[in-house]
Amino acid sequence: MSKEADFYLRRLHSLLGIIPVGLFVAQHLVINHFATRGPEAFNNASNFMGNLPFVLFLEWFIIYIPLMFHAFYGLYIAFTAQNNVQRYGTFRNWMFFLQRLTGIFLVIFIAWHVYETRIQKALGADVDFDMMANILSNPFMLVFYIAGVLAATFHLANGLWSFCVTWGITQSPRSQTIVTYVTIGAFLVLSVIGVRALFAFV
């Protein structure tokens, strides 16, 4: 692959990770958080999203296709990246390493989550509060989903920092430090929202 092609693909990968994939992740966590208000509130929120106009078009062109590109090209980046945390144990090098590690884990987690929900829906199952409660009644699956939520929120928050640098939004060390604190805050807020939702199903 030429350096020019790699440059543009990495920029596209960065952009899609925030818009639309990152926005979808945040929205998905908020919808799941309705579970804290009870089964009826969650089912109503889920049904509203599932009955949007042109829902299949939205799912494929706003979620699935951008997500698949981001995931598969992200795997290429992860397995070709030169991680140097043992030699240079700086904060940003660790963030770089964890971004790749969570990305690999998320490919597995998202594939399983899609199988348990969207594919089962296509086979006739109801994607509702009871489905998630049944899945998360297994302690192993609860831990797996908690790990998935934390990996997703970290990957999104740290990816937002990388996006700002990649696209020239934060060029000075001070601006990058400020965005570091902002993204840490985003990680904590989204993590609380996501994990609270999971325990609401238990």
How many domains does the structure of the chain reveal? 1
At 93, the pLDDT band (50, 70, 90 cuts) reads confident
Show the domain range for 49.
Answer: 3-201
Domain CATH number, residue 13:
1.20.1300.10
pLDDT tens, position by position, 110-149: 999 999 999 999 899 999 999 999 999 999 999 999 999 9
At 6, the pLDDT band (50, 70, 90 cuts) reads confident
Q: What is the mean pLDDT of residues 48-69?
A: 92
Residue found by looking up tokens 């994990």 in the block = 195
At 41, the pLDDT band (50, 70, 90 cuts) reads very high
pLDDT tens, position by position, 156-181: 999 999 999 999 999 999 999 999 99
Say what the alpha-carbon torsion angle 196, 179, 26, 53 is, to the nearest 10 degrees.
160
Helices (H) and strands (E) in the chain, counts: 10, 0
Q: Record the pTM.
A: 0.93
* 95 Cβ contact list (under 8 Å, min separation 6): 158, 161
Q: What share of the chain is helix, strand, coil (3-state, %, to 5)?
A: 85, 0, 15
